Amino acid sequence: MPQLILISGLAADAEMWQDQLAALPARWRTQVTDVPARHASIEAMAQALLQEHSGPLVLCGASMGGMVAMEAVRQSPERIHGLALLGTGAQPENPLQRRQRENAIALFEQGRLAEFVRASASFAFARERAADKHLTRRYKALVLRATTEQWIRQNRAVMARPDARLHLAQVRCPTLVLCGESDLLTPPAYAREIAALVPGAELQLLPECGHMLTMEQPEAVNAALLAWLLRLGR
């Protein structure tokens, strides 16, 4: 039986998966990897994940974690028995995104990380839930646990990410692509592109859901993951 590894997004940790961890069957021996917090590139994160978790794996990555999962299947396709890609994209950084990240990094280096998080937190959720104070407070507490150094290192890793589109057509494991219909950071077009490239990929778009889908619509995410894992287990 493969082991299920959850891979968090930028500046996030196991907290973003707490609703999934409570619902996933014990037989998957689920773990949340912390390799994104310890390595400086998407390639190194994927390599470390493969080294630290032996045997066959099912990878579930959100946002930056999805980039790590796609790189891991490129590095070791025979070991990855399933991919769940949540709110992520396969494209490399474009010039506008690069400028935006460089501007954000400049703020971090000035000690203005909390200011950036306060200003940008609403973009993590669908417009219908951006005013949910409990949800936004929980998100801010999550990402502000990450150090300034981690924010800078992970943003630079995402800026230098490989073009996963070049190898997705060679993926042969069952793949679930999940995205919020209102995701402002990795829009549904990104999910559709991945699903079109991976043979047999299953695409699901969650209505009234933004980028932090595991926190924003945990019941819908759990239902999609559990149904997919049930089919995978068979």
72 CB neighbour count, 10 Å cutoff: 28
Question: Is 3.40.50.1820 the CATH classification of the domain at 3-93+155-233?
Answer: yes
pLDDT number for residue 132: 86
Residue 106 CA to residue 112 CA, distance in Å, equals 9
- Quote the tokens at residue 73: 């299947």
Indicate the domain borders of the chain.
Answer: 3-93+155-233
What is the pLDDT at residue 145?
96
Task: Kindly give the confidence (pLDDT) of every residue in the chain, 234 residues in length, as a single tens digit, with 9 standing for 90 and above.
Answer: 899 999 999 999 999 999 999 999 999 999 999 999 999 999 999 999 999 999 999 999 999 999 999 999 999 999 999 999 999 999 999 999 999 999 999 999 999 999 999 999 989 999 888 788 999 999 999 999 999 999 999 999 999 999 999 999 999 999 999 999 999 999 999 999 999 999 999 999 999 999 999 999 999 999 999 999 999 988
Yes or no: say if 227 and 26 are a contact pair by the CB < 8 Å rule: no
